[in-house]
């Protein structure tokens, strides 16, 4: 199950990256990338804090769950951030 989640996340991220490269890079796109990376860092930091608190109270949780959650939050927050800011700007 975990292998499927990882493989599917990688495929979605690569497909989005290939689709995103076709866009013309102007000032608006640079602003979108900047705002998306700001949102991405905030979401990833939130995931890190939540995982650290959860791991503090439940230390029997496997470490790979933390790593998987961090990677998934990093990848999907970038995709979500770009889609979100393109709709707003």
Q: What is the pLDDT of residues 28-62, one digit of tens each?
A: 989 999 999 999 999 999 999 999 999 999 999 88
Reported for 26-30, long-range contacts at CB under 8 A and 24+ positions apart, including other chains, are 28/89
- What range does the domain containing 65 cover? 2-88
Task: Count up the domains in the chain and report the number.
Answer: 1
User: Are the beta carbons of 28 and 87 closer than 8 angstroms?
Assistant: no
pLDDT of residue 89: 85
User: Are the beta carbons of 35 and 85 closer than 8 angstroms?
Assistant: yes
pTM: 0.80
Distance CA 53, CA 82 (A): 28
């Amino acid at each position: 199950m975990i292998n499927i989640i990882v493989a599917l996340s990688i495929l979605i991220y690569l497909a989005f990256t290939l689709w995103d490269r076709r866009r013309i890079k102007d000032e608006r796109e640079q602003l979108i990338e900047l705002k998306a990376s700001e949102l991405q860092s905030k979401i990833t930091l939130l995931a890190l804090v939540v995982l650290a608190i959860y791991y503090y109270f439940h230390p029997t949780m496997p470490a790979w769950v933390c790593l998987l959650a961090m990677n998934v939050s990093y990848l999907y927050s970038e995709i979500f951030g770009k889609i979100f800011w393109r709709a707003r700007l």
